[in-house]
């Protein structure tokens, strides 16, 4: 396979690869299109030549037995040498010749240069990686399990390339002085800024940005976890009739494009909002701007992130085995005792993960603070404006991003500490029957009341949004009209087929396509990672786990800029393509898949795997036949979340969109900036409906899990 990459496919990136124009334009001899093998025959790009040996070496030992130590050694060597040479040459030789001064000194000036790697390079790189893992497995690492070894290394490789590499590139900016040198002093002066850490609010002034963010994130984390739990309990453990409706409602905010919730809140509670005016008319109070600042952001973020907590918790709450609860009840525990001492503690992994996600989401959220922030500054907006604002200070952005990272890191370890080393396994191979008991009555009333209030509030907000899309000019001229939908989504039937003449179609199709590609990939990478983290033991597991959370913790803006910095130049040159969007979505949303996967998997007893392994299945078969089917809620969560986020993300995307690949959200923002609120909201509403139907479809395809034999579950209990 690697050989094919080396000799047949074009080595360097080709524009419009799939048009296959390159086949006719001088292939295989033109340097732009030639495969590496032909390049060498023409004595060009000689630095690629050392790659030949590791490519051929494995062939020599192909006849040897797998147990032969030589077999493993050769493969490891070949893979390692090949891969590292590929990287070294890729990074040191760029568009303008050598990338490093010392290389120039050592080898003299290079006349030649190279562009980004294409499919040829990609395949060669991955085959080196594969050879390497084959080698390690043959040497007996992790019981010689090729699947586990190659997935560990595969995930490590892609996380390194698409998470660590761009982020480290961005963070080094924190140490660069204005003249371009590196200095720790610059970092220190920016880091210990009073604006960042000031504690003025304790005595009436204003607090530093860092404290603002931290305080907000902790609050949001707690509130969303509690609300998420409330909804999960109502859906799984109560006799409430309209569960399905409630379930849909809780998912609504997550599929809402940015700014829309903020705008709706302003129209309700702003200085001239309808609720504000109504109340001031009745009580004769002076309307205030209370919404702007902490309260507004808190409301909007709670609205937006509760569904995430819910998605994580629902799997966990469903997963708690009823047999444990029944055992407790048999031992004469009251319902309340069962809930407090059995159910709740068993939900701890879910609670911790939900809190972590809420915390991180709040930290990285950008749209809500922008619209509702008032004078309450948070890290994410500060970072954005340090880069794009009038200061042009990338160093400051990098420092702020580091602070943000530290907070996330802290939350991550606090969560680990809280969970401790206890076991939360409840689903085992043993018989598991019974039904979840309902919540104790003392709990069910407040829970239901809270859920209903929240649901009512959500409905009001969404009615406002729907209404906003069908009026002439929101808040000023309330004539009903469909003109916004027509401008955006008109189409004509012509002889040649349907002509999509509306202005939003382009970005609409692109968004659907990109989100459609990114979602399954995200789920796959996320779940494999979760499997490795919960089921396998290997060196550096903690660092690995943190690495997978990293991209999620960093605000989109930083990711966006760091992706441009890292991937605009060879060896990986993908800016301006759809690939960069897909890649950024995968790595930004993967953590949710990982978290949901971990939460569900820690409930599955290892004996399930073990019995499968004992019966002769390998780990891939075990993963596919045993674990995967039990993970359906987690798969669904990952799929839904990544699809939806790909359609609604904004801050990273804004730097990565290009003329050909415009996304819906950046189109919407352009409209909002231009005062076309009606059009923006009409587009958002359409997106909401599209996402609702896609989410429904996904649910249908993935199907539901039957954990245990809970035959008499109520039909609503889905």
Rounded to whole angstroms, the Cα distance separating 643 from 640 reads 5
Cβ at position 359, least distance to another protein in Å:
23
CA pair distance 404, 459, nearest whole angstrom: 33
> With binding defined as CB under 8 A, does residue 281 bind another protein?
no
**Residues making up the chain, counted from first to last:** 718
Q: From the centroid of its chain, how far is CA 594?
A: 10
Among 452, 458, 443, smallest CA distance to 237 is for 443
Among 77, 103, 569, 617, binds another protein (CB under 8 A): 569
| Residue with smaller CB distance to another protein, 376 or 462 | 376
- The piece of 353-361, 508-516, 636-644, 660-668 that touches another protein (CB under 8 A) is 660-668
Comparison of 389 and 540: residue with beta carbon closer to another protein? 389
CB 385 to another protein: min, Å: 4
For another protein, the closer of residues 7 and 661 by Cβ is 661
> What does the block give as tokens for 405?
């990272």
The distance of closest approach from Cβ of residue 362 to another protein in the complex, given in angstroms and rounded to an integer, is 18
Residue span 365-404 as binding mask against another protein, x where in contact by CB under 8 A, dash where not: -----x--xxx-----x--xx-xxxxxx-x----------
DSSP strand pairing (492-494 vs 477-480): unpaired
**Cβ atoms of 43 and 29 closer than 8 Å:** no
Please tell me the chain's helix, strand, coil percentages from 3-state DSSP, rounded to the nearest 5.
70, 5, 25
Per DSSP bridges, beta strands 471-473 and 497-499 are unpaired
The span of 267-275, 295-303, 513-521, 602-610 binding another protein (CB under 8 A) equals 267-275
15 lies in the site for another protein, by CB under 8 A: yes
Name which position in 110, 279, 435, 473 contacts another protein (CB under 8 A): 473
Pick the piece of the chain touching another protein (CB under 8 A) from 84-92, 145-153, 264-272, 399-407: 264-272
Q: Does 480 bind another protein (CB under 8 A)?
A: no
Burial-class residue 288 by CB neighbours within 10 Å (0-12, 13-18, 19+).
Answer: exposed
In the complex, the smallest distance separating the C-beta of residue 165 from another protein, rounded to whole angstroms, is: 15
CB of 561 vs another protein, minimal distance in Å: 6
Listed ranges 153-161, 535-543, 622-630, 663-671: which one lies at the site for another protein (CB under 8 A):
663-671
> 316, 403, 488, 654: which one contacts another protein (CB under 8 A)?
654
Q: Is residue 660 part of the contact set for another protein (CB under 8 A)?
A: yes
Sign, CA dihedral 9-15-18-24, equals negative
* 502 sits near another protein (criterion: CB under 8 A): no
Hey, how many other C-beta atoms are within 10 angstroms of the C-beta on 443?
18
Total number of residues that touch another protein (CB under 8 A):
56
The strand pairing partners of 480, in sequence order, are 471
Shortest CB 679 distance to another protein, Å: 10
User: Which residue in the set 75, 86, 565, 663 belongs to the binding site for another protein (CB under 8 A)?
Assistant: 565
* Nearest distance in Å: CB 294, another protein: 13
CB contact at 8 A, 514 and 582 = yes
> Crossing angle of helices 379-388/348-364, nearest 10°?
30
**Within 13 Å, how many C-alpha atoms sit on residue 701's CB side?**
11
d(CA 529, CA 526): 5
Contact 3, 27 (CB under 8 A): no
Of residues 528 through 557, those in contact with another protein by CB under 8 A are none
Q: Which positions ≥6 away from 32 have C-beta within 8 Å?
A: 10, 12, 14, 22, 26
Nearest CB to another protein, comparing residues 3 and 569: 569
Q: Identify the residue among 493, 659, 700, 701 touching another protein (CB under 8 A).
A: 659
The CA distance from 139 to 67, in Å, is 8
For residues 480-511, one letter each, b for 16 or more C-beta atoms within 10 angstroms of the residue's C-beta and e for the rest, the string is: eeeebbebbbeeeeeeeeeeeebbbebbbebb
Candidates 306, 575, 622, 684: give the one binding another protein (CB under 8 A).
Answer: 575
Least Cβ distance, residue 87 to another protein (angstroms): 19
In the list 489, 490, 662, 710, the residue contacting another protein (rule: CB under 8 A) is 662
The pair of three-digit structure tokens given for residue 627, joined into one six-digit string: 């674990």
Interface mask toward another protein for 596-635; x: CB under 8 A: ----------------------------------------
The answer to the question of residue 32 lying near another protein (CB under 8 A) is: yes
Q: Phi and psi of 496, rounded to 5°? A: -80, 0
Q: Which of 95, 105, 199, 697 binds another protein (CB under 8 A)?
A: 95
- 469 vs 622, beta carbon nearer another protein: 469
Query: What angle (nearest 5°) sits at the alpha carbon of residue 430, between those of residues 429 and 433?
Result: 115
Choose between 154 and 293: whose C-beta lies nearer to another protein.
293
237-256 residues in contact with another protein (CB under 8 A) are none
Q: Contacting another protein (CB under 8 A), which of 53, 84, 183, 289?
A: 289
If the CB atoms of residues 167 and 657 are measured against another protein, the closer one turns out to be 657
Tell me which residues in 334-363 interact with another protein (CB under 8 A).
none
Q: Is 495 or 673 the residue whose CB approaches another protein more closely? A: 673
Residue 292 Cβ vs another protein, minimum distance, rounded to whole Å? 6
**Angle subtended at Cα 122 by Cα 513 and Cα 653, rounded to the nearest 5 degrees:** 35
Cβ closest to another protein, residue 302 vs residue 666: 666
Task: Give yes or no for residue 573 binding another protein (CB under 8 A).
Answer: yes
Max CA distance (Å), the chain? 91
The angle that helices 664-673 and 677-702 make with each other, rounded to 10 degrees, is 160
What long-range pairs does 448-457 form, CB within 8 A, spacing at least 24?
448/234, 448/238, 448/240, 450/227, 450/230, 451/230, 451/231, 451/234, 451/240, 451/246, 454/227, 454/230, 454/306, 455/246, 455/249, 455/250, 457/303
Q: Which is nearer to another protein, 271 or 452 (CB)?
A: 271
Site membership for another protein, residue 670 (CB under 8 A): yes
User: CB 95 → another protein: shortest distance, Å?
Assistant: 6
Choice from 131, 156, 217, 266 touching another protein (CB under 8 A):
266
Reading the block at residue 654, the tokens are 């804004």
Q: Which CB, 561 or 694, lies closer to another protein?
A: 561
Q: Which of 564, 602, 608 is nearest to 583 (CA)?
A: 564
Q: Which of 657, 681, 695, 702 binds another protein (CB under 8 A)?
A: 657
Q: Nearest-CA neighbor of 152 among 133, 178, 180?
A: 133
Instruction: Say which DSSP state 94 is in.
Output: E
Helix (H) or strand (E) holding 715: none
CB of 286 to another protein, least distance (A): 9
Please tell me whether residue 673 binds another protein under the rule CB under 8 A.
yes
Binding residues for another protein, rule: CB under 8 A, are 15, 25, 32, 94-96, 115, 195, 205, 266-267, 270-272, 289, 292, 370, 373-375, 381, 384-385, 387-392, 394, 473, 475-477, 561, 564-565, 568-569, 573, 575-576, 654-655, 657-660, 662, 666-667, 670-671, 673-675
């Amino acid at each position: 396979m690697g050989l094919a990459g080396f000799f047949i496919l074009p080595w360097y990136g080709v524009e419009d690869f799939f048009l296959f124009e390159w086949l006719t334009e001088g292939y295989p001899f033109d340097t732009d299109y030639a495969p590496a093998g032909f390049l060498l025959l023409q004595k060009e790009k000689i630095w690629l030549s050392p790659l030949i040996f590791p490519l051929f070496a494995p062939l020599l030992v192909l006849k040897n037995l797998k147990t032969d130590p030589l077999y493993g050694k050769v493969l490891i060597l070949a893979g390692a040498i090949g891969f590292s040479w590929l990287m070294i040459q890729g990074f040191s030789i760029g568009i303008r010749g050598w990338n490093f001064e010392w290389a120039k000194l050592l080898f003299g000036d290079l006349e030649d240069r190279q562009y980004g790697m294409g499919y040829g390079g990609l395949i060669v790189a991955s085959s080196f990686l594969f050879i390497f893992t084959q080698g390690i497995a043959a040497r007996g690492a992790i019981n010689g399990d090729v699947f586990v070894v190659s997935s560990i290394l595969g995930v490590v490789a892609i996380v390194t390339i698409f998470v660590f590499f761009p982020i480290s590139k961005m963070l080094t900016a924190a140490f660069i002085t204005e003249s371009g040198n590196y200095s720790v002093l610059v970092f220190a002066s920016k880091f210990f800024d009073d604006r960042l850490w000031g504690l003025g609010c304790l005595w009436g002034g204003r607090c530093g940005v860092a404290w603002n963010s931290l305080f907000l994130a902790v609050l949001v984390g707690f509130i969303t976890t509690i609300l998420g739990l409330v909804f999960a309990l109502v859906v799984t453990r109560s006799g409430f009739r309209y569960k399905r409706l409630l379930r849909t409602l809780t998912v609504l905010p997550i599929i809402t494009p940015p700014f829309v919730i903020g705008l709706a809140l302003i129209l309700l509670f702003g200085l001239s909002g309808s609720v504000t005016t109504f109340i001031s008319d009745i009580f004769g109070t002076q309307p205030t701007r209370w919404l702007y600042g902490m309260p507004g952001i808190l409301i909007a973020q709670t609205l937006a992130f509760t569904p995430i907590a819910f998605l994580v918790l629902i799997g966990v709450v469903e997963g708690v085995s009823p047999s444990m609860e029944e055992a407790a009840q048999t031992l004469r525990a009251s319902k309340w005792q069962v809930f407090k001492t059995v159910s709740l503690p068993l939900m701890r992994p879910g609670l911790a993960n939900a809190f972590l996600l809420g915390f991180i989401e709040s930290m990285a959220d950008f749209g809500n603070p922008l619209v509702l922030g008032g004078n309450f500054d948070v890290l994410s907006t500060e970072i954005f404006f340090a880069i794009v604002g009038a200061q042009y200070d990338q160093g400051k952005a990098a420092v702020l991003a580091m602070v943000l990272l530290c907070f996330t890191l802290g939350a991550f370890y606090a969560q680990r500490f809280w969970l401790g080393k206890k076991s939360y396994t409840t689903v085992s191979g043993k018989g598991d029957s019974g039904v979840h008991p309902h919540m104790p009555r003392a709990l069910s009333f407040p829970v239901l009341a809270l859920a209903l209030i929240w649901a009512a509030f959500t409905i009001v907000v969404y009615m406002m949004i729907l209404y906003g899309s069908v009026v002439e000019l929101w808040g000023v001229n309330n004539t009903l009209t469909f003109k916004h939908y027509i401008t955006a989504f008109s189409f004509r039937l012509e002889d040649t087929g349907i002509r999509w003449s509306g202005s939003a179609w382009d970005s609409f199709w692109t968004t659907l396509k990109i989100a459609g590609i990114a979602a399954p990939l995200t789920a796959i990478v996320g779940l494999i990672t979760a499997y490795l983290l919960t089921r396998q033991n290997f060196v550096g597991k903690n660092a690995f786990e943190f690495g997978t959370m990293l991209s999620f913790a960093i605000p989109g803006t930083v990711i966006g800029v760091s992706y441009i910095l890292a991937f605009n130049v060879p060896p990986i040159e993908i800016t301006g393509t759809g690939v960069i969007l897909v890649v950024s979505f995968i790595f930004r949303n993967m953590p949710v898949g990982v978290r949901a996967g971990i939460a569900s998997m820690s409930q599955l007893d290892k004996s399930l795997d073990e019995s499968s392994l004992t019966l002769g299945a390998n780990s891939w078969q075990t993963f596919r036949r045993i674990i995967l089917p039990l993970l359906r809620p987690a798969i669904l969560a990952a799929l839904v979340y990544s699809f939806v986020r790909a359609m609604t993300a904004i801050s990273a995307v804004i730097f990565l969109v290009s003329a050909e690949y415009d996304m819906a959200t950046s189109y919407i923002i352009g409209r909002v900036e231009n005062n076309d609120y009606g059009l923006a909201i009409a587009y958002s509403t359409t997106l909401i409906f599209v996402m609702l139907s896609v989410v429904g479809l996904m649910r249908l395809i993935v199907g539901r899990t039957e954990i245990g034999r809970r035959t008499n579950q109520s039909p609503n209990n889905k």
